[in-house]
Amino acid sequence: AQTVTQSQPEMSVQEAETVTLSCTYDTSESNYYLFWYKQPPSRQMILVIRQEAYKQQNATENRFSVNFQKAAKSFSLKISDSQLGDTAMYFCAFMKRYGGATNKLIFGTGTLLAVQP
């Protein structure tokens, strides 16, 4: 069975600074996807970034980038130039590729990020 672990329940960063959120996972699969979702106080789940395990290049989306270490099963999220609107709960999630009839996402327990003015 796959598991996703986020070891930082809460983090804080000053506006305009850089912060890194950690995520590790456990799987015996070789083909899979990893995601970071953001959940602001509105509770909407918003996709931040996606990484395909077969790609060596780390995914980037504007100020958001990941450090994907497949051998170490690590998938950290770096937020550059933090903004007040980045304040949210961040969830790391795993999904098997070609997982049959399910697109089941396996979520970590989340990291609450507070961006301070």
Partner 1 sequence: NAGVTQTPKFQVLKTGQSMTLQCAQDMNHEYMSWYRQDPGMGLRLIHYSVGAGITDQGEVPNGYNVSRSTTEDFPLRLLSAAPSQTSVYFCASSQGLAGYQETQYFGPGTRLLVL
Residue 104 is a binding residue for partner 1 (CB under 8 A): yes
Binding region for partner 1 (CB under 8 A) out of 16-24, 56-64, 78-86, 88-96: 88-96
- Backbone angles phi and psi of 86, in degrees to 5: -80, -10
The length of the chain is: 117
DSSP letter (8 states) at residue 80 = -
Nearer to partner 1, 86 or 96 (CB): 96
> How many chain residues are in contact with partner 1, going by CB under 8 A?
28
* Ranges within 28-47 binding partner 1 (CB under 8 A): 31, 33, 35, 37, 42-47
Binding region for partner 1 (CB under 8 A) out of 20-28, 61-69, 78-86, 90-98: 90-98
DSSP H or E run through 93: strand 88-96
Strand partners of residue 116: 14
> For the purposes of burial, counting CB atoms within 10 Å of the CB of 42, is it exposed (0-12), middle (13-18) or buried (19 or more)?
exposed
Interacting residues with partner 1 (CB under 8 A): 4, 31, 33, 35, 37, 42-47, 50, 91, 95-105, 107-110
